Every structure is written in structure tokens, then in C-alpha cells.
Amino acid sequence: MQAVAPPHSSWQELLASPASGSHLLQMYGCQDFLAAGVAHFVVEGLRRGEAVLLSGTAIHLARIRAQLSRLDVDLDAAQRHGLVALGPVEEVLASLTANGALRKEDFSALIDQVLQATRARADWTGVRWWAEFANTVHAAGDEACALRIEEAAAEAADRHGISIFCSAQCDRFDARHYPALERLCRMHTHIIPANDYAGHRIAVNRAIAEEIGELRGSHLHALSNWKGLACELPSSQALLFWLREAMPERFEAVLARAKSYVRPATAAGA
Amino acid sequence: MPHMTDCGLPGVKDIPYGVHMCNFYRDGNELAAALVPYFAAGLRASERCIWITADPLPAAEAKARLAATGFDVEGAVASGALVVRDHDDWYAEAGALKGNQVVDLWLEEEQRALAAGYAGLRITGNVTFLRAEEWELFMEYESLVQRAFHGRRIVTLCTYDLGRCGAAEVLDVMRRHSCTLDRPDHGWQILTPA
């Protein structure tokens, strides 16, 4: 079990002040959670005097604007004070793939160019960027391209000392999603697996207790020997990744039970 | 001064000062099986031993169990080498402190022990008193301890009731300790992270 910095107790705490160079991933199943997460990221960034960049699909940007309005955020004022919606990712992706497959170097150059322009506008206390380029190409069936984008984003977050927040639509209780989820998590520094951390913990604990039993002896040894994913994520989600590796024959049964125990409001992966 | 000391548990060899260990137990007998040899070794090694007790092994029973191994427990208590206090009693003094203040309190205890000629400080805390809503805060305290005790002449064993820990709590605890002491069928083992 790799020593990883202790997880934050909630996604709100994590998104309020992400560390410089962090590359965050939100696993979402419903649009409300996506919008709530991004809106919180925006509000906290503006409150801290940071430039906030948004790169989403047209539909998601509209949802995020609506969520910000519900939070009484004055969007016009916000745009004068650093909030920049960079336009629908579909258009940006179309321009980057006009001559064939998206190249990582081109995507990195785009990030550098946007950040240079952003920093030239004002003396921000920091820069934070929410983007769903990878989610968009992944949803279109191109996982390899999504991973190239995530790799470029991780490098850019580190190179520029900014925080980049990504959202990925998935069902965290569907075993078929886990190979891709694991690859995705390994490219991020922090993972937000659920809206309701406490509910997720209770559901996973109950499922493991019923399917596996208590963690002692050989189970404890296996958990101690697990190398982990080298990213910060709540223990309840870390356990699911561990189970997939350590007890693949029980993994789907645990997921199914956990899904059935998740509180109704969060059952859709919110 | 040596950097290693005897853990005391059969099958577990020397441990380094600064180690912050955890153990999960099922009942009072399992808890005593870990803590009695742990403190017996500390007393043999001339360490100052502070045992903060709680159910299912309160102070009076903890002393009786240690005395049953042949130690002069009352003599050790009288000399100051051994302190055995119930959590309620200790908490009345330290309970209002924040996590970093409790850590400072332990570091001061270490300095006092060294100044008094002890080889180091050996402590334990059993946290059955924790309420569910206090868990996150207590895990923050464990993280502070893990960072602050590294390289100090303090040996720590934190014990957790397995009946009150789900799998996620077990992992929370393991992530915040240097190693886990476990007693499967073939004797004590020390589990270190990969």
C-alpha cells in the first residue's frame, strides 16, 4: 500500500483550494453533480482572486451557468474578474483534429498559449481550469486520445503551477468501467469518486463486510502490499480498486452490493 | 543511543524509534495480548511508558495483566517509569486540546523522559471512545502524529476495535501509520507498506 497524502474529507474542501500543480478528476454519473462540482470550483477560485477558465461542451457550460446563477453569482461581474468560458470544447477539438488525430504536442501548445494570454490580462493570485476535452473524446470512443489529453494536462498543471480539474462520466459501480477508470486515475493527483463521501463509505463498507468479511490476516497482508494508484482518493474508492486487483472473483459482487446500498440521491453516481 | 528497540511482541524483532504502529483487535484478550508484551519490553528497555486505556481494557485491568507477567507494576508507577491512566481521566486534561497541541504534548513528554534519563518514550492509545462524527478529525491527528514522531525517540502503538471499523476505516488507519501489527494464526507479524 503506497503512502499517499491523506484524502480530503469532502470534494468541497478539495476543490476550494487545490494545490498548485494538482490535476483533479471528478467521476460523475449525473449532470447535477457535474454542475455542482464545477460551480463550486469556480466560486472558490473567484473568491480567491484567481483566473478561472472553463472548457466544456455547450450543454455542460449552460448547466454550469445555470448552477452559478442559482448560487447568486453575477456572471457578468465574474467575467470581468477572471472567469473565462473558453467556448465549447467541440469546436476546439475540431480545430485540433482538422488534419488527423489529435497530437499531444498541439494540445500542450494550446494550453501554453491560453495560459500565456490569461496571465497577460492581470496579476492573478493563481489560475484554475476546468476542462472536459478528455471526457468528450472518450465519450466518442477514443480512449487513447483521451489519455494523450490527460497526459498533456498533467504535465501542464505541473509546468505552470496551476490546478486543472477534469470531469469524467462513468458508473463507478460497473466493473466494465474500471480498466479505463484506473488508467484515468493514474494520470491525476486527486480523485473525487462521489458526491456523498459518507454514503459511499457506508455502502462500500457494508458490501465488503458481507462479501469478504473483516479485513484481517491474509486480507490485511494483501492490502498492506497493495501499491495503490499514487493519487489521493477516499479510502472507500481505493478499496474498490484494491479489490479489483486482489480479489477479482469477488469484485463484481461487491460492486453490485455497494450499488444497492448507496443512498437513493447518489445511486446514479452523483 | 541505539536507534532500535524491542517491540516486545513474539515474532516481531526490533523496531526503530519514531515508529507509529497500529493494530486491530477483536476483544480485550487480543488487546492485552498486544499491549502487555509491548509495555513489558518498554520497561525492560528503560523507556518511559504511558498507557492511555479505555474499554475493553481499563486501567485497573491493564495493570493487573501487566503485573501477572511478573513486573513490579506499582513500583514502576511509583518511580514514574509507567503511567497507566483511563482515557476519561486523561481526556479531562488533554481533551480540549487541538490535534497539534496533543502532538506537542507528546513531544514535551519525550523531552521530559529523555531529560530524566529514560531511553525514550513508549505510548499507546485505544480509541474506543471515538464517536463516528469525530473520525475525520481523529484521522487528521493521526496524520500529524505520523509526521511529527518520525525521527523522535518515541514508539507508538495505536489500537482500534475491529468491530467498530469498516474496511474503509481500516484503510484510513493503515494509511496513517508506519506499519500494522497483525496476529494471524502463526504469530505476530509486522506489515509494512509496499
Which residue of B lies nearest to A10 if distances are taken between CA atoms?
B136
Instruction: Write the CA distances from A86 to A2, A90, A115, A147, integer angstroms.
Output: 38, 11, 12, 21
Strands (E), chain A: 23-28, 51-55, 83-85, 127-131, 163-169, 190-192
Residue B186: which pLDDT band, with cuts at 50, 70 and 90?
A: confident
Look up residue A238 and give its three cell numbers.
481505493
pLDDT score recorded for residue A267: 46
- A180 residue type, one letter: A
Look up residue A104 and give its three cell numbers.
499531444
Look up residue A111 and give its three cell numbers.
494550453
pLDDT score recorded for residue B87: 84
Q: What is the mean pLDDT of chain B?
A: 92
Omega before residue B193 within 30° of 0, cis: no
Residue B22: which pLDDT band, with cuts at 50, 70 and 90?
A: very high
Across A93-107, A138-152, B32-46, B160-174, least confident range: A93-107
- Give this complex's ipTM: 0.89
Nearest-by-Cβ selection for A215 from B167, B193, B194: B167
- Tell if the CB–CB gap between B166 and A206 is shorter than 8 Å: yes
Instruction: Write the CA distances from A80 to A121, A128, A168, B118, B144, integer angstroms.
Output: 11, 16, 29, 64, 41
Reduce the DSSP state of residue A101 to 3 states and report it.
coil
CA torsion angle B117 B122 B123 B124 (round to 10): -160
Nearest-by-Cβ selection for A205 from B139, B166, B185: B166
pLDDT at B185 over 90: no
Chain A contact probe: residue of B136, B137, B138, B164 with most A CBs at under 10 A: B136
pLDDT digits (tens, 9 = 90+) for A186-209: 999 999 999 999 999 999 999 999
Which residue of B lies nearest to A211 if distances are taken between CA atoms?
B167
Nearest-by-Cβ selection for A2 from B143, B189, B193: B193
pLDDT digits (tens, 9 = 90+) for A5-32: 556 789 999 999 999 999 999 999 999 9
Q: Residue A19 burial (CB < 10 Å; 0-12/13-18/19+)?
A: middle
- Tell if the CB–CB gap between B167 and A227 is shorter than 8 Å: no
Whole-angstrom Cα distance, residue B87 to residue B96?
13
Reduce the DSSP state of residue A157 to 3 states and report it.
helix
pLDDT score recorded for residue A85: 72
Instruction: List helix spans (H) across chain B.
Output: 28-44, 59-67, 73-79, 87-94, 99-115, 135-148, 167-175
Please enumerate in sequence order all residues whose Cβ is within 8 A of that of A123, keeping only pairs 6 or more positions apart, or say none. none
Residue A2: which pLDDT band, with cuts at 50, 70 and 90?
A: low
B193 touches chain A (CB under 8 A): yes
Which residue of A lies nearest to B136 if distances are taken between CA atoms?
A9
The label of the residue with cell 462540482 reads A37
Residues of B in contact with A244 (CB under 8 A): none
Please enumerate in sequence order all residues whose Cβ is within 8 A of that of A235, keeping only pairs 6 or more positions apart, or say none. A7, A201, B167, B168, B169, B171, B172, B175
Phi, psi at B158, each rounded to 5°: -100, 130
Residues of A in contact with B167 (CB under 8 A): 204-205, 208-209, 212, 215, 235, 239
- Tell if the CB–CB gap between A220 and B180 is shorter than 8 Å: yes
- Which residue, B146, B135, B126, is CA-closest to B168? B135
Nearest-by-Cβ selection for A216 from B24, B174, B193: B24
Whole-angstrom Cα distance, residue A227 to residue A37?
29
B143 touches chain A (CB under 8 A): yes
pLDDT digits (tens, 9 = 90+) for B34-78: 999 999 999 999 999 999 999 999 999 999 999 999 999 999 999
pLDDT digits (tens, 9 = 90+) for A109-147: 999 999 999 998 888 899 999 999 999 999 999 999 999
Whole-angstrom Cα distance, residue B192 to residue B172?
15
Residue A107: which pLDDT band, with cuts at 50, 70 and 90?
A: very high
Question: Quick one: average pLDDT of B73-96?
Answer: 85
Chain A contact probe: residue of B182, B183, B189 with most A CBs at under 10 A: B182
Whole-angstrom Cα distance, residue A166 to residue A65?
17
Residue A268: which pLDDT band, with cuts at 50, 70 and 90?
A: very low
Question: Quick one: average pLDDT of B101-108?
Answer: 92
- Tell if the CB–CB gap between A1 and B193 is shorter than 8 Å: yes
Residues of B in contact with A236 (CB under 8 A): 168
Q: Residue B127 burial (CB < 10 Å; 0-12/13-18/19+)?
A: buried
Which is higher by pLDDT, A98 or B115? B115
